Chain A
């Protein structure tokens, strides 16, 4: 491990200092729907050959409590919940965030990923709407790749800074 990597652990929002710095840009499409609700979206990275997935972010209704809290619908992010989300203690520092309006959002890829092949996954689920998973294979170092969803997600682009 490079010493620089430790600065990032548990704090994905800090600016990555050097070599491996890469950003994931997620586009949430504007959907022509009357009763549009902002989607739940989660992102994680997992080794291409299998291994422990690592959550990067999850955007959900953090504030809603009561009988049907915002966390109730986290399992609608089916893949993320099964692979990573359900093992997290939520809200998780540097991971949990509020839902986002349509637009493009940048999230840093952890700079401490050991060299190798990975898959960056972004999953979206919308109330009374669909669910979509977009997977982008990348190679670290030099992470770069892109893929696009058809319905709930627009482009997911991984690019070096």
Chain B
């Protein structure tokens, strides 16, 4: 058991700089698809164990779909559960589809009349009985709305749990949305969080239109097509930050199914000067690949720093 996860989760709640306890993923039921009238179903979640559903869903509303020609696609049959979101996509166009969730938010703190206030969440006053967002989640992840559910299943972020009365019994103030920071605030320290989670599915022959980078934040530009990878082969992917190759970026690869083995089997890699990481897949199966980086180039001018993360799900086929 990985007991470290719990303290990390708590830390994520309190300090926005420790949010990598989760593996966020969008898991397709199939990535290399044949036939007509084809549907693929997806699970979207953030979890400790890769491709298990043990923590929280990615918000259904955060899911975006790109058809092979670059136009927006639609999902159907969406359900957001306690641990995962589920939706189907009808592949009505041959080629390579992208299914992704993106999240951008501002966290940090400021002082108002000498009192420190935290910044976070999506704005608006917290609803009664809801503690309000406590910091950045992974991309688009939903926090269970405590008002709608009786029990949080013992999760540390439940109401009255970790957040409870603060030290010395002082009540913690709810975080303030970025848009609501008052003009008279002082000591404003803000960090921009930009998270991206993706997966790729190909009906028929692979295409590359949807790989075109946006030039914003951290992105993965396939050199090897993500739906043309097999065990024993080496795939290459270029990481970009704001459209430029991200050299020396640490990239983590985790094969799915870690519950059924002793070793997590994490593969630690790094990008070269050209931003390219080379991944040799030890065996067939679903893999999670992730990277994160911090810099001082936030798109929001009032922020001092930017934290970016990228995660993708790849299906590695038998040779």
The proximity string for A residues 63-74 relative to B, scoring 1 for CB distances below 8 Å and 0 otherwise, is: 000111101111
Q: Does B202 contact A (CB under 8 A)?
A: yes
Scan residues 291-319 of chain B and give those whose CB is less than 8 A from a CB of chain A.
317-319
Roughly how many angstroms separate A87 CA and B317 CA in the complex, as a whole number? 17
Q: Which of B32, B228, B318 contacts A75 (CB 8 A)?
A: B32
Q: Does A81 contact B (CB under 8 A)?
A: yes
Query: Which residues of B lie under 8 Å from residue A69 when comparing CB positions?
Result: 35-37
Q: Does A161 contact B (CB under 8 A)?
A: no
Q: Which of A75, A79, A87 contacts B205 (CB 8 A)?
A: A87
Instruction: Return the chain B residue nearest A70 by Cβ.
Output: B35
Looking at the assembled complex, report how far the CB atom of A88 sits from the nearest CB atom of chain B, in whole angstroms. 9
Scan residues 9-37 of chain B and give those whose CB is less than 8 A from a CB of chain A.
30, 32-37
Query: Which residues of A lie under 8 Å from residue B36 when comparing CB positions?
Result: 69, 71-72
With contacts A78-B317, A78-B318, A79-B318 taken as known, whether A86 is within 8 angstroms of B37 at the C-beta atoms is: no
Q: Does A154 contact B (CB under 8 A)?
A: no
Roughly how many angstroms separate A141 CA and B117 CA in the complex, as a whole number? 79
With contacts A78-B317, A86-B205, A87-B205 taken as known, whether A71 is within 8 angstroms of B35 at the C-beta atoms is: yes
Instruction: Return the chain A residue nearest B30 by Cβ.
Output: A75
Interface centre among B35, B36, B228, B230 (most CB of A within 10 A): B35
Looking at the assembled complex, report how far the CB atom of A146 sits from the nearest CB atom of chain B, in whole angstroms. 20
Query: Which residues of A lie under 8 Å from residue B38 when comparing CB positions?
Result: 72
Q: Does B282 contact A (CB under 8 A)?
A: no
Query: Which residues of B lie under 8 Å from residue A73 when comparing CB positions?
Result: 34-35
Number of cross-chain contacts by CB at 8 Å:
48
Query: Which residues of B lie under 8 Å from residue A68 when comparing CB positions?
Result: 35, 37
Indicate if the CB atoms of B319 and A79 lie closer than 8 Å.
yes
Q: Does B165 contact A (CB under 8 A)?
A: no
Scan residues 32-56 of chain B and give those whose CB is less than 8 A from a CB of chain A.
32-38
Indicate if the CB atoms of A81 and B32 lie closer than 8 Å.
yes
Query: Which residues of A lie under 8 Å from residue B206 when comparing CB positions?
Result: 86
Query: Which residues of B lie under 8 Å from residue A85 when comparing CB positions?
Result: 34
The proximity string for B residues 194-205 relative to A, scoring 1 for CB distances below 8 Å and 0 otherwise, is: 000000001011
Q: Does A139 contact B (CB under 8 A)?
A: no
With contacts A86-B204, A87-B205 taken as known, whether A81 is within 8 angstroms of B230 at the C-beta atoms is: no
Query: Which residues of B lie under 8 Å from residue A66 when comparing CB positions?
Result: 37
Indicate if the CB atoms of B205 and A74 lie closer than 8 Å.
no
Query: Which residues of A lie under 8 Å from residue B319 when comparing CB positions?
Result: 79, 133
Indicate if the CB atoms of A74 and B317 lie closer than 8 Å.
no
Q: Does A30 contact B (CB under 8 A)?
A: no
Instruction: Return the chain B residue nearest A75 by Cβ.
Output: B34
Roughly how many angstroms separate A72 CA and B35 CA in the complex, as a whole number? 4
Roughly how many angstroms separate A66 CA and B36 CA in the complex, as a whole number? 9
- The 8 A-B residue pairs whose C-beta atoms are closest, nearest first, are A72-B35, A74-B34, A75-B34, A71-B35, A87-B205, A86-B205, A78-B317, A75-B32
Please, could you name 26 A-B residue pairs with CB atoms under 8 Å apart, sorted by A? Answer: A66-B37, A68-B35, A68-B37, A69-B36, A69-B37, A71-B35, A72-B34, A72-B35, A72-B36, A73-B34, A73-B35, A74-B35, A75-B30, A78-B32, A78-B317, A79-B318, A79-B319, A81-B34, A82-B32, A86-B34, A86-B202, A86-B204, A86-B205, A86-B206, A131-B318, A133-B318
**Residues of chain B having any CB pair with chain A under 8 Å:** 30, 32-38, 202, 204-206, 227-228, 230, 317-319
